[in-house]
Amino acid sequence: MIQLFQVYKNFGSKNPALLDINLTVKKGEFVFITGPSGAGKTTLLKIIFCAERPTSGNVLVHGRNLNRIKERDLSLLRRRIGVVFQDFKLLPRRNVFENVALALEIIGFPLPMIRKKVHQTLRYLSLTNKEGYYPPQLSGGEQQRVAIARAIVNNPLILLADEPTGNLDPDLTMEIMALLKEIHIRGTTVLVATHSKELLKGTTRRIVTLNKGRIV
Amino acid sequence: MIQLFQVYKNFGSKNPALLDINLTVKKGEFVFITGPSGAGKTTLLKIIFCAERPTSGNVLVHGRNLNRIKERDLSLLRRRIGVVFQDFKLLPRRNVFENVALALEIIGFPLPMIRKKVHQTLRYLSLTNKEGYYPPQLSGGEQQRVAIARAIVNNPLILLADEPTGNLDPDLTMEIMALLKEIHIRGTTVLVATHSKELLKGTTRRIVTLNKGRIV
Amino acid sequence: MGNIRENRLVHLIGIGTMSIAFLIFYAFILVFVNINYWTEKQGKTLSMSIYFKEEPDSAVIENIKKELFVFPGVTVKQFVSKDDAMKSLRRKLGEKAGLLDGLKQNPLPASLEITLSRDKGGDNLPYQLKKRLEKSSVVDEVHYTQEWIKKFQAIMEVIKIVGVIFGGLLFLAALFIITNTIKLTIYSRKEEIEILKLVGATNCFVKIPFMIEGSIQGLLGGAVALFALFLAYIIAITRIDISIGFASFNIVFLSPYIILFLLLMSVIIGFIGSTISLGRFF
Amino acid sequence: MGNIRENRLVHLIGIGTMSIAFLIFYAFILVFVNINYWTEKQGKTLSMSIYFKEEPDSAVIENIKKELFVFPGVTVKQFVSKDDAMKSLRRKLGEKAGLLDGLKQNPLPASLEITLSRDKGGDNLPYQLKKRLEKSSVVDEVHYTQEWIKKFQAIMEVIKIVGVIFGGLLFLAALFIITNTIKLTIYSRKEEIEILKLVGATNCFVKIPFMIEGSIQGLLGGAVALFALFLAYIIAITRIDISIGFASFNIVFLSPYIILFLLLMSVIIGFIGSTISLGRFF
Ligand SMILES: Nc1ncnc2c1ncn2[C@@H]1O[C@H](COP(=O)(O)OP(=O)(O)OP(=O)(O)O)[C@@H](O)[C@H]1O
Ligand SMILES: Nc1ncnc2c1ncn2[C@@H]1O[C@H](COP(=O)(O)OP(=O)(O)OP(=O)(O)O)[C@@H](O)[C@H]1O
Ligand SMILES: [Mg+2]
Ligand SMILES: [Mg+2]
């Protein structure tokens, strides 16, 4: 599903953000990416998502080489990937409902379907009573859950979650993890970047550890 | 140092964000504020900092009633309070050095002093090699540390830290906690809002727990 | 919520700037259209007054008219009797008309007002006509203003050329200001555009709302400008009665066709402005 | 880094919009100053040509001059002999001067060009002078253009009034556009302002950089506009030789004082614009 071959990413400073990354994630896998702050976790996810282009190396996602993908196909591919951004990236001028509905609008879902799916997802994340709020009116944890809702609402092929529980309390963290597992069981390939010991504790999932841009 | 009397905060929805908060924090205390997502932790800190005004009730900070404080005095008070915002609030068009130096510039420190203090603080937070970076070029954890640096660089009377380790790995979290303790020992009153079990584990500090806007 | 209100404010600022830019351009067009209209009228027709020695009877007038109709392009406007002339003078004097009460006799001559069309009559006609009419025993004098008009037309030619150049530059200026304003409003939503693209929106999905918005902004800006211009026009025609010695200005407003054209243009400018401004992001 | 570049771009857009707004206003002032200058010149002095029957000898000319100097406000410009007249005609004809080769005799009259100053001579002088000179046995004819000028001045009065009104509105429009542009650029930095205030910056600390920036933007915008206008002026005076039958236009540029005044004004507008725009945030 996701393959990285000798990927390097250098932002122009002496220390590259990613060094010689080779990684294969199979369809339906659940992978944790961990490592200290500044290790390159976010950069790795960004490259898979084509928000950044690698300095060298090749990335194949869902059978497509991202170095050679066309603008239009990239949009189509991104629709099949759900992303929880570390800084949420919610639209400040749309309310919670509209932010989540966006992911379905883009695909061209009919409105009644959109309503049903959005309500359902917001219920999962205990956000039902925040539907009409705008992101600046939400607490940190609520914003994070809206970001998760937007990422999962359209049942993506791949889910990339960057520190999805950094602003959540332990109870909610467990709920979110349960949710991710459920999504995974339904067939989605899941990559979660985190440095939370709690998330990793006792898991039997594959863990990829980054340090200073290298897989260790 | 900080006193809240019957503080209510209602943003206009049926559930107020804060209900009948009575809290006294003495000079030199170290207090954790905890509670689930949306409990009102950030709102409480914002009120102490006068970024939000309470719907009713009185807040006294450093002997001043925030309901009756003048524009100019408010600026002077804020200079003595260091704040780590949950969403960092760094200036995107200034680099790391300039962001941290800002807190000293405002007070009118001479430039050589500013340089010395900023370098020293950045060293504490292992950010020396990021001095010339702009916030959008930093990883989440790096941004958070810059926010911490800005909050502590001018030895504030009061330090308000909102989820200061949410984007940091366990090792860095311990370092930051050590730093906060050091600052506390030097005489600063410290309030930390967090839902990290790790931070609270085994602490002997006072813990204020919020739930749905109430102290429990 | 604050964000929404702000966004609306940014739009209002944008529309305001646009209307002012359009208004400058439209006001210029209005002035230009009027100058054009006026010179055209003045240049093509020439008015001539035939003053009679005595109050002529209708047979005399008929005779003169017959004589006139031999020439092409002559239109008889009206016969002004000595009484008519006095009345019109009284009207012009208004409150001071009492001054005329002392007169024992009406000193004003009767006249026949005619116009000549340059198209049909040719440049020599007025002179010929004047010479011929002044030979008549009943006619005292013939007045016309062509000499003046010729010089005036030379200036008007220059004004026209300068006008077209200036108008063109003004149009470019309006376009520039409007594009820049749209650019600034779009900049304030740069992050939103980036997020939309990251979530998988196609370029069209992102661009079209901005283009529609730009077009609507353009339309509103243009409409506000036209409305302001119309108000100014109404005030001008009711308050000001510009008369420059020889002829009084008759200010016309833009024709419906021009209005329609300008509105269409403002939509197009808004559309093009947003399209250009979006260019940076894709 | 991208942010920095963008910020610079926003500034450039701002300065560009400002310069265009200023340019429109300045161009108007330039046109207005020229019209003013020209009517003033035309209105105050009146040129008169005294045509001689034969080529006069110097004694005759001296006599005429003596006669002229009795009248106040008369300046003798030059004596144009028959030869001079022919030379100047040849010069005007250029390539076609060959047409004149066939002439056996020079048909052009000699003339004395003089100007009269209205200030000193009074309105009746030209007529008196003409009458008196034409009695002389050596003088053929006397030409002057006052009749025309009087009518022209009436139009110019109207143009002046319309000009002041239009100029005032244009100034307001420029102010509005500039303020709005500054507002939009400040909006794009709204968050920064909020952060600064949260960190304890006083209003002055936040405002002053914006005000300085606005003033500099205003100055640059004004300077760019003046420079563009000067370029246009240079092109205009080298390319265009506007001559309207009776007198050729002598286009003047804005005087250094006006330039200094306009630059100062643009700084002030930038300053006021940013101050007004900042109002919302404090
Ligand atoms: N646009 C950029 N320009 C320059 N350097 C960058 C840029 N983006 C990231 N970096 C650098 O690349 C390194 C890796 O960043 P990344 O965001 O991938 O870290 P991370 O593992 O997600 O860390 P965290 O856990 O703190 O979020 C960091 O040192 C960062 O400073
Ligand atoms: N500006 C606002 N307008 C409306 N409601 C608001 C606003 N700010 C906060 N709230 C609401 O107040 C409640 C408390 O928010 P607060 O940010 O204080 O929570 P928190 O304890 O910091 O949560 P977290 O741990 O998720 O950051 C939330 O339900 C939020 O939706
Ligand atoms: Mg990261
Ligand atoms: Mg919070």
Tell me the pLDDT tens digit for each residue of D179-195.
Answer: 888 888 888 888 889 99
Residue (of C137, C180, C157, C150) closest to C42 by Cα position: C150
In angstroms, the CA B196 to CA B163 distance is 8
The domain over range C45-144 is classified in CATH as 3.30.70.3040:
yes
Is the pTM higher than 0.90?
Answer: no
The percentage of chain B sitting over the pLDDT mark of 90, rounded to a whole number, equals 86
Residue (of C137, C59, C76) closest to C111 by Cα position: C76
Which chains have 3 or more CB–CB distances shorter than 8 Å to chain A?
A: B, C
Residue C245 pLDDT: 39
Give the DSSP H or E segment for C262.
helix C256-279
Question: Average pLDDT, stretch C155-162?
Answer: 73
Nearest ligand 1 atom to alpha carbon B139:
17
Contact A92 C3 (CB under 8 A): yes
In angstroms, the CA A38 to CA A210 distance is 9
What residue of A is the nearest CA neighbor of B15? A129
Least confident range from A101-115, D134-148, D224-238: namely: D134-148
Q: Does pLDDT of D198 surpass 60?
A: yes
**Ligand 1, CB within 6 Å, residue ranges:** A 11, 17, 35, 37-43, 86, 195; B 133, 137-142, 167
CB contact at 8 A, B213 and B19:
yes
Which amino acid, one-letter code, is at C42? Q
Q: What is the mean pLDDT of chain B?
A: 93
Q: Does pLDDT of C93 surpass 60?
A: no
In angstroms, the CA D21 to CA D19 distance is 5
Tell me, using a 6 A CB cutoff, whether residue B42 lines ligand 2.
yes
Q: Does pLDDT of D1 surpass 70?
A: no
Query: Dihedrals φ, ψ of C263, to 5°?
Result: -65, -45
Query: In terms of pLDDT, which residue wins out, C48 or A156?
Result: A156
Question: Rounded to the nearest 5 degrees, what angle is found at the Cα of A196, between the Cα atoms of A194 and A197?
Answer: 130
Select the residue from B106, B109, B138, B162 to test the D interface by mutation, using most D Cβ atoms within 10 A: B106
Residue C233 pLDDT: 86
For the beta sheet containing A206-211, the strands, ordered from the edge strand earlier in sequence to the opposite edge, are: A81-84, A158-162, A189-193, A30-34, A206-211, A214-215
B194 Cα–ligand 4 center, Å: 8
CA-CA distances (angstroms) from residue D66 to D74, D115, D124?
Answer: 11, 15, 20
Give residue-wise pLDDT tens across range D80-136: 888 888 787 777 655 556 556 656 677 778 888 887 776 666 667 777 888 888 888
In angstroms, the CA C61 to CA C199 distance is 88
Q: What is the mean pLDDT of chain D?
A: 79
Question: Average pLDDT, stretch C16-37?
Answer: 84
Contact C197 A75 (CB under 8 A): yes
CB contact at 8 A, C248 and C199:
no
Q: Which chain A residues are Cβ-neighbours of B35 within 8 angstroms?
A: 169
Partner residue facing A91 (CB), from C2, C195, C205: C195
Residue C246 pLDDT: 40
Q: Which chain B residues are Cβ-neighbours of D199 within 8 angstroms?
A: 78-79, 83, 102-103, 106, 150
In angstroms, the CA A149 to CA A99 distance is 9
In angstroms, the CA B137 to CA B190 distance is 30
Q: What do you get for the CA distance between the two ends of chain D, in Å? A: 29
Q: What is the DSSP letter of D110?
A: P
In angstroms, the CA C278 to CA A188 distance is 35
B67-76, long-range: CB within 8 Å, 24+ apart, which pairs? B71/D203, B72/D202, B74/B50, B75/D197, B75/D200, B75/D201, B75/D202, B75/D203, B76/D200
Tell me, using a 6 A CB cutoff, whether residue A96 lines ligand 2.
no
Give residue-wise pLDDT tens across range B133-145: 999 999 999 999 9
Residue B39 pLDDT: 93
Task: Give domain limits for chain D.
Answer: 2-41+150-281, 45-144
CB contact at 8 A, A188 and A159:
yes
The tokens describing A153, both together, are 């609402």
Contact C24 D24 (CB under 8 A): yes
Q: Phi-psi category of A193—alpha, beta or left, where left has phi over 0 and alpha has psi -120 to 50? A: beta
pLDDT along chain A (216 residues), means of 10: 94 89 94 94 95 94 92 92 95 94 93 95 93 93 95 95 91 91 94 88 90 92
